[in-house]
Amino acid sequence: MNPIDNSRGCATEFRKSLTGCALCSCNKLNVYNWMRGIPETPMTLDVVEIRFKNTRKSFFRNINNLQLTEGDIVAVEASPGHDMGIVSLTGELVAEQMKKQGVSSNSELKNVYRKAKPTDIEKWESAIQREDEVMLRARKIALNLDLNMKIGDVEFQGDGTKAIFYYIADERIDFRQLIRDLADEFKIRVEMRQIGARQEAGRIGGIASCGRTLCCSSWMTDFISVTTNSARYQEISLNPQKLAGQCGKLKCCLNYEVESYKDAQKDFPTKSSLETEEGTAYYFKTDIYRRTIWYSFKEDTLSNITAVSVDRAKEILAMNKLGKKPQKLAESVIKEVVINGSEYQNGVGQESLTRFQNTSEKSKKKRKKHGNKDIQKDDTNQSAKTLNKKDSKNEIKTEIIKEIAVEKKDNVAKKIVLKKNKSENEQNNDTNTIQ
């Protein structure tokens, strides 16, 4: 088996050598074992957590008391035959994970048979190589049967006698004929397992818009429904392109901070207009954690936007209920937090992005460092000359502009005189004709 399998995580040798990646760093739904290395006690459960393809995990009982460590490839009980998996968790934390998953320690669990032999791994590798081909062929068979479903993933059992087909469907599907066709086509036992869009995204994996691994593929197992109310509580614009995740549904992270926003808004006034002597102030937006509300004096356009504290807004609303109007909307102007240049320093790096383009400036700095005084004098003389040239050019420009303005005035005056003369001549001609 390859050192790294994208769907099944790291193999034994790669995890134990700690070269290339850290422990448990490239597995989906991983649990960090902070009790690794602590010896087991008689009270420790003889249960281990086994990881299969993508996000599928299960608990198995170590009845043979095998010395198992995280990353060992083992053969486990399946129905029928046996399956192959990788040990993902051992020791005291297994009991905590079972409590979290709602699995009782007294429940009937399947058993771990043995550590994987070379023949077991060869069969497993040959089964894994068939998965993509079988998935594409299964999609064509489902399309020919006109089934409104999408087969998103196929997982073969370790001995190659059975395969799980994960599919997505918006309605109930009668896939009895599909199971018969798949069994005849691939000569295996078929199990159909329906999953949701979020679970499919977790199985496929990827990078979210925040730059981190998808929550559904790294740690999240319980998918709570997400509504647009979560975005409204946090004053987030309802843009479907930004609010939707890779699964096409609303992002799960919209629920992470909703409760804190709700607690912060408990004493906020309603989003209603305020009556003042200056006019009616209409609600514009809210900064929840700064406890600031913005109002505009025009309902349709954003003009004269004023920031008001929550306490001031509540005070004005109380006055409006009594029929009173304050003189001003805000008693004091709320100052924005401005970071001074002396206090702020760029922690990432002080160099600019265009530093490689300014070669002339770098060469000048190098000359100054070497301490060549003659070159410094030449540079200062050249800079003085350039300044003098610029000043002389500016003076010439101003003189030319003045001359052009004078010429324009003279031309205008001449045109006026010519017009007067023409009008006088026309009047004289008219009088002569009348006589």
Question: Which tokens go with 422?
Answer: 């023409």
pTM of the predicted model as reported, rounded to 2 decimal places: 0.62
* Residue 344 banded pLDDT, cuts 50, 70, 90: very low
CATH code linked to domain 124-201:
3.30.300
Provide the pLDDT for residue 342.
45
Provide the pLDDT for residue 133.
94
Say whether pLDDT at 32 is over 70.
yes
What sign for the dihedral angle of Cα 236, 242, 248, 252? negative
Question: Which tokens go with 384?
Answer: 């003085």
Say whether pLDDT at 5 is over 60.
no
pLDDT digits (tens, 9 = 90+) for 162-210: 999 999 998 888 989 999 999 999 999 999 999 988 888 888 888 998 9
* Residue 371 banded pLDDT, cuts 50, 70, 90: low
Task: Tell me the C-alpha distance between 426 and 424, whole Å.
Answer: 5
Residue type, 191: E
* Residue 410 banded pLDDT, cuts 50, 70, 90: low
Is residue 278 exposed (0-12), middle (13-18) or buried (19+ Cβ within 10 Å)? middle
* Residue 354 banded pLDDT, cuts 50, 70, 90: low
Q: In this prediction, what percent of the chain has a pLDDT beyond 70?
A: 70
Provide the pLDDT for residue 390.
52
Worst-scoring range by mean pLDDT, 247-256, 275-284, 398-407?
A: 398-407
* Residue 412 banded pLDDT, cuts 50, 70, 90: low
pLDDT digits (tens, 9 = 90+) for 99-121: 888 888 888 899 999 999 999 99
Say whether pLDDT at 315 is over 60.
yes
What is the pLDDT averaged over residues 410-432?
62
